[in-house]
Structure 1
């Protein structure tokens, strides 16, 4: 009788793979390296994750849960103050970008590295990015500004700009600047 899959082993494999994928990239990491890092057998790895795409998707889903949780905390209690929620979202991204060890957003990293938004992990990454954009759009729509599309685009560019500029220069300064820019845009609206 085959043994059932142990959830703790699955978590250990996913944790090892997540660290490797985040620090080195998806393509650079092979399944044999994950087996070694997780301290499990190849059959055990494939019992939990039948393919590398399954493991990559689980890695992206794990990050999505973490990000969703931190975004919920960031905007908690700001339901009636859309401008404060927009600043809180921007600040949450800024804190991530400025954090020690930041190597990019896993969704954006995946899409840049794999260049195939049509595969399952790519579709998931795009869905998550678009969900945050929709949240920004919805909050801006509640502001009552003259041109909500333009305002949402400007705020989105400040957020995306933090991710794009992170590998170059001072991430903390870029993050602080982006938060200030969003605050200025909202104050001028």
Structure 2
């Protein structure tokens, strides 16, 4: 239904681009379908042809963000093959992201705050992405010799979440360095506690 033309993105991508900008800058509940339609420069019929409901669009927005984050982390891992270096670059990337003008925290934490029902499709999408992060962190921690990779993954997830909130609410300039130190404090402590 959506086709890419030589002049630009598909209609679906234009809708997602508009939604991403508006949802992130203004909040999901504050943005109406009409605002997205206006920003994308389409008709209501076109909007609803691509997204039956606003929640369907919210899920697509989060899935797109999740795919971007996963590709970025997997790309670093493929390029380095070194889990410690992946974690260092991850911390630096979070630090860079938090210093970006208009940074408002984590898209997934923000969405979860607006959707109270854990059974909603939006919260399920958030939970799936967070589970991917935990599995990824656990796998890296295991390869780094951590005795309890799942516990380390939970701690790394808390650090990631805290860094995103700190970058939004406080001075973001030190987030990357602080996150890197904290990540390796967890990893090193977990290694030190490993049976020899």
Same fold (TM over 0.5): yes
Are 2:146 and 1:145 aligned? Answer: yes
Instruction: Give the alignment of 1:1-189 within 5 angstroms.
Output: 4-6=1-3, 8-79=10-81, 81-186=82-187, 189=191
- TM-aligned CA distance change 1:154 to 1:56, over 3 Å: closer
Task: Say whether the 8 Å CA contact 1:75–1:88 is kept in structure 2.
Answer: no
- TM-aligned CA distance change 1:132 to 1:40, over 3 Å: same
Q: What's the CA shift for 1:127?
A: 0.5
Q: TM-score, normalised by structure 2?
A: 0.83
Cα RMSD between the aligned structures? 2.1
Q: Tell which deviates more after alignment, 92-101 or 19-28.
A: 92-101
**DSSP 3-state at the match of 1:101:** coil
Specify every segment of 5 or more residues in structure 1 that has no aligned partner in the other structure, as ranges: none
Q: Number of aligned residue pairs: give it.
A: 185
Specify every segment of 5 or more residues in structure 2 that has no aligned partner in the other structure, as ranges: 5-9, 192-196
Q: What's the CA shift for 1:46?
A: 0.4
Q: TM-score, normalised by structure 1?
A: 0.86
Post-superposition Cα deviations, 1:46-83, rounded to whole Å, max 9, x if no partner, equal 0111111111111111111211121122222443x332
Cα distance between partner residues in 2 of 1:149 and 1:9: 41
Cα distance between partner residues in 2 of 1:6 and 1:78: 36
**DSSP 3-state at the match of 1:166:** helix
Q: Tell which deviates more after alignment, 115-124 or 174-183.
A: 174-183
Q: What's the CA shift for 1:10?
A: 1.5
